[in-house]
A and B are shown apart, each in its own frame.
Chain A
Amino acid sequence: EIVLTQSPGSLSLSPGERATLSCRTSQTISTSYLAWYHQKPGQAPRLLIYATSTRATDIPDRFSGSGSGTDFTLTISRLEPEDSAVYYCQQYHSAIWTFGQGTKVEIK
């Protein structure tokens, strides 16, 4: 089973700042099979990015994804107060999906 390790565990930034979230996989995966979600308290997760860099429906362009091999990144270019959430990466390999442990983003 592929393990996803996200870093940092948490970060606290001000509105308008840039957030860079990392997701490292224990084995090389296809860029087609890496996705990002965020989850706000009391809500279900919401898909942000799939296939490493494709924004999901209605996701603003301040969210972008990149990476390949074992290293993937979610960047939020200009943080807004509503971006406060836990962010999860997810991968698919050999008919199994796994999630990272999450990065908590706090907006000051």
Chain B
Amino acid sequence: QVHLVQSGAEVKKPGTSVKVSCKTSGGTFRSFAIHWVRQAPGQGLEWMGVIIPIFGTTNFARKFQGRVTFTEDESASTAYMELSSLTSEDTAIYFCAKSDAYTYASGGFAPWGQGTLVTVSS
């Protein structure tokens, strides 16, 4: 059974960057697509993008292009999301979630990490 465990809460100043990790266990990391989804306080879910290590590809929602970077370390079975130029509007819970690399479009996202709260405040 696959599990995703994310790094802890962060408090950041406006204009800085944050890097969140998502460690996977119980499966074959290279067979995963790792998505990043965020949820602002009291709001809905917003897909940010995806990294598919076996294909060496990333894709981003238009509003995050140029400001978010996805990386992965296969040896640590861990994916990372770095968001730069933070503003108060980036205050949110950031989730990672897995889909299968080969059926990433149709299989849904499961499981999800527990979420990482990122607070941007001066």
Residues of chain A whose beta carbon lies under 8 Å from any beta carbon of chain B: 1, 32-33, 35, 37, 39, 44-47, 49-51, 56-57, 86, 88, 90, 92, 95-102
Contact = CB atoms under 8 A, between A and B. Distances in A.
A44 B112 contact: yes
23 contacts: A32-B105, A33-B106, A37-B45, A44-B112, A44-B114, A45-B37, A45-B45, A46-B110, A47-B108, A49-B108, A50-B108, A51-B106, A86-B44, A90-B45, A90-B108, A96-B59, A97-B47, A98-B47, A99-B44, A99-B45, A99-B46, A100-B44, A101-B44
Nearest to A32: B106
Interface of B: 35, 37, 44-47, 50, 59, 61-62, 95, 97, 105-115
B105 A92 contact: yes
A49 B105 CA distance: 13
A48 to B, nearest CB: 8
| Interface of chain A: mostly helix, strand, loop or mixed | strand
A49 B109 CA distance: 10
Contacts of B110: 46-47, 56-57
B95 A99 contact: no
Contact of A45 (B50, B95, B106, B107): B95
Contacts of A95: 59
Nearest to B114: A44
Given A32-B106, A35-B108, A92-B106, A44 B46 contact: no
Given A97-B35, A99-B46, A50 B113 contact: no
B105 A1 contact: no
B45 A88 contact: yes
A4 B45 CA distance: 12
